[in-house]
Amino acid sequence: MANKNDKAVDPVLDELQAIRRLMIFGLIRAGASQGEVAAALGVNQSSVSRMFPKPKGIKAAARKKD
């Protein structure tokens, strides 16, 4: 049976998820690696990778620079 408070908690959890995604995006945009972002947030690098996968072609472009 659902509790009345469950409905109040859902928007709060949604907001916290949105804040977390913004923090991740901001850190990546500032040049942090996925590993650094993961360490800052206390999650695995794979969790960050799933939220913001690299665009296709990044690996090929990186190899061409070397």
Calculate helix-pair angle for 34-41, 4-29, nearest 10 degrees. 140
pLDDT given for residue 49 in this prediction: 84
* Residue whose C-alpha is closest to residue 34's, from 56, 18, 50, 55: 50
pLDDT given for residue 51 in this prediction: 79
Q: Note the pTM of the prediction, 2 decimals.
A: 0.56
pLDDT given for residue 1 in this prediction: 45
pLDDT given for residue 58 in this prediction: 60
Give pLDDT tens digits along the chain (66 positions): 456 666 677 888 999 989 988 988 888 899 999 899 999 989 899 888 887 766 666 655 555 554
